[in-house]
Structure 1
């Protein structure tokens, strides 16, 4: 019953959001994307403050206390990772996937609502393009008025624009998220392919706070989502399977492999960048070497590594 009610609520919500039409509400013309945001905020007057307070905007999660008793928020904005290294190393490139306009250096004003990019999350034309090295600015040739008039509830395509192509291409940064999720089969993703879920059906959002933690949020156990949000503690018909639930994560059995359709990067060595050597394509048609980025190893149908903790 819990699951049935959840599906029904999704269908009701989707039918409501699809019915919205902004053609008569958004008049333009627009010279800059910031002008679009200003018009959005004329009606959605609380959205600016909500987004400015969100993890999605700040790229910071929960507040942590380290071993020296220093209190600080941690997140993509101030952490180092082993793929793209760190945001300050290449602001304009990294921030092309931020929901803002113009975050080109450390002086970006996070308190300016006019720099919020409403369109990247809500436009429905499929023609909105943010420049790869443009610090979040869109391509100057796009039709801002038509795009602004198309806005609606976020879809997989909106989320995937950044999250499926993280790290510079499909399957690069996230082995479990790539362009196959735009129109997946049930074998690729049961919920998206079999039930036509959007990302926001699980990553529920209230006041522009998107559920789902990473970095500092995971360490604190805050803002997380769980299979139990929809499924109860006895999801299987067989009692023996349900007894595994207290010790084994759902993903252990239900994600036997990842990168099932698109290959993913499993190794990235930036120290090899700059060498004068020819790039050779692997069996997936991907480059094993790029002079600007270094050396790569790609894999497909990857079996996860399993650990007790």
Structure 2
């Protein structure tokens, strides 16, 4: 039999082992809790529904009853003049926005923007290509660098406020619709009935915004990856906010508007700088997820709430982009210009998309694409056409700002579009090609890169050496649309794994991805000690059990 002292130490040992087991059990439960699905009712989502349900959109005027609109309009500018008789500040408000000037209002030097000296690696620049590019401008007549940006009647009210669905700009007419029935590719464009359209104007819909933003870069889904025509009427699986049977958000539901200034990121200005929610301040713009869902969007006590200071909501809630329609992932201009039998030609590839075109070179399209992840504080840095480059390195046409030590940075998903485009080999700068036009300098007319670059650089008022080459480039687009339903968000082990999504983000320890010899030793020691304790305790209980008399 055990002595009284032995019994004391046995019980003390039992207490220690029990404490160890409870600790292991607690942390095991905590880890398991992280792996569970987010409960259906969550604090942040419930609060969001309470504060951000759209109010009924009361109509306070019937435009068909305005005498000034009951006329036969000879030009779209005449429609704008009629609108300005009542909305007499509208054009001046629009003139102050990036939608009009195509330069960033936050940039005092006016270098940042399509009409500035920035580039992309799609169609590269609007300079000398205006009649084609400005088919998506909110104005009329921007056909070259002489366009008067101060004219109020040049603002296109209808492109944003048409509710009939019949108002269409023609792709090559510098922002104008057609005046007679005209074919362009597979589409036929009809001249608009300005009287009917003007009498039916209303608040912008997703169709108005998408007519330009879903087709940027020359086609459906080309540029952004998370913006394409599938969002005109998305399913719940594609976007929980825009789903017609759900919240059915318009674009301005998040991109809130003040005097025609639409909230969102610009070249110099982040989309938002204030992470407060509408619960804290009802004047906060709804451009961030936290605006509606708060910084603790999950169930109270849920481990996922501990991630929101380092991980963006989009990182988990947008597991892939281009989920319905493919997006362009690679564009090689260096292969352009090849002909068959002396004529331009096209080769179709996967997803029923062109893999080669004489006019534009080689493409790679992808669908259901996994994003790349970067630390992002809402700011981007942009290369200017005048900046020096190293042609032996991949040139970042724009780059993501932020790092893990920046309190404003979050791990954020991006589309990275890669390609090859021309550069000035003499000046070691990027180059602007003149692509569109009927003159011999237009590349799509004469297929002469040297003449094309000479004309394009002259239009941008940038020197050109007369020597050119092609260099690899990257362009980064933050992924913020196509928010999946909660049951299709990323599981924890999508990132917390050795070969998870965040393998390229270094400099910090992540459970499941990284290993530590000391931590592993302590953990296994605790487990083994607990097992030994249980066995020893069981044996001691058996030995110390009083014998039956």
Aligned match for 2:253, one of 177, 201, 204: 201
Are positions 1:11 and 2:55 aligned together?
yes
Aligned to 2:192: 142
- What is the root-mean-square deviation of aligned Cα atoms in Å? 2.1
Aligned to 1:114: 153
Aligned to 2:224: 174
Aligned match for 1:55, one of 94, 98, 104: 98
Aligned to 1:98: 137
Aligned to 2:71: 28
Distance in 2 (alpha carbons) for counterparts of 1:55 and 1:246: 31
Aligned to 2:270: 218
Distance in 2 (alpha carbons) for counterparts of 1:117 and 1:135: 12
In the TM superposition, what is the alpha-carbon distance from 1:123 to its structure 2 partner? 0.3
In the TM superposition, what is the alpha-carbon distance from 1:213 to its structure 2 partner? 1.2
In the TM superposition, what is the alpha-carbon distance from 1:20 to its structure 2 partner? 4.5
Q: Which whole-Å deviations, capped at 9, do the CAs of 1:87-119 have from their partners, x for residues lacking one?
A: 104111111101000011111111111000000
CA contact (8 A) 1:75 1:216 kept: no
Aligned to 1:248: 311
Aligned to 1:271: 334
- Structure 1 residue ranges without an equivalent (≥5): 66-70
CA contact (8 A) 1:184 1:192 kept: yes
Q: Which whole-Å deviations, capped at 9, do the CAs of 1:150-190 have from their partners, x for residues lacking one?
A: 11000000000000011121101121000000000011111
In the TM superposition, what is the alpha-carbon distance from 1:275 to its structure 2 partner? 0.9
Distance in 2 (alpha carbons) for counterparts of 1:246 and 1:150: 46
Larger strand share, 1 or 2: 2
Q: Which whole-Å deviations, capped at 9, do the CAs of 1:9-50 have from their partners, x for residues lacking one?
A: x232x3x14x74311122121010000000000011111111
In the TM superposition, what is the alpha-carbon distance from 1:73 to its structure 2 partner? 4.9
CA contact (8 A) 2:97 2:105 kept: no
TM-score normalised by structure 1 residue count: 0.91
CA contact (8 A) 2:326 2:351 kept: yes
Q: 1:112 to 1:305 in 2, by over 3 A?
A: same
Are positions 1:39 and 2:39 aligned together?
no
Matched residue SS, 2:331: strand
Q: 1:38 to 1:232 in 2, by over 3 A?
A: same
Distance in 2 (alpha carbons) for counterparts of 1:138 and 1:148: 15
Are positions 1:85 and 2:148 aligned together?
no
Matched residue SS, 1:307: strand
CA contact (8 A) 2:255 2:287 kept: yes
Distance in 2 (alpha carbons) for counterparts of 1:126 and 1:53: 27
Larger Rg: 2
Distance in 2 (alpha carbons) for counterparts of 1:239 and 1:2: 16
Aligned to 1:68: none
Stretch deviating more after TM superposition (278-287 or 294-303): 278-287
Distance in 1 (alpha carbons) for counterparts of 2:241 and 2:317: 12
Matched residue SS, 2:363: strand
Aligned match for 1:307, one of 374, 377, 400: 374
Q: 1:52 to 1:187 in 2, by over 3 A?
A: same
Matched residue SS, 1:51: helix
Distance in 1 (alpha carbons) for counterparts of 2:219 and 2:61: 32
- Structure 2 residue ranges without an equivalent (≥5): 1-45, 180-190, 275-284, 376-402, 404-549
Matched residue SS, 2:308: helix
Q: Which whole-Å deviations, capped at 9, do the CAs of 1:209-237 have from their partners, x for residues lacking one?
A: 10001322239969993111211111011
TM-score normalised by structure 2 residue count: 0.52
Aligned match for 1:74, one of 112, 124, 130: 112
Stretch deviating more after TM superposition (236-245 or 110-119): 236-245
In the TM superposition, what is the alpha-carbon distance from 1:271 to its structure 2 partner? 2.4
Q: 1:33 to 1:72 in 2, by over 3 A?
A: closer
Aligned to 1:152: 202
CA contact (8 A) 2:136 2:175 kept: yes
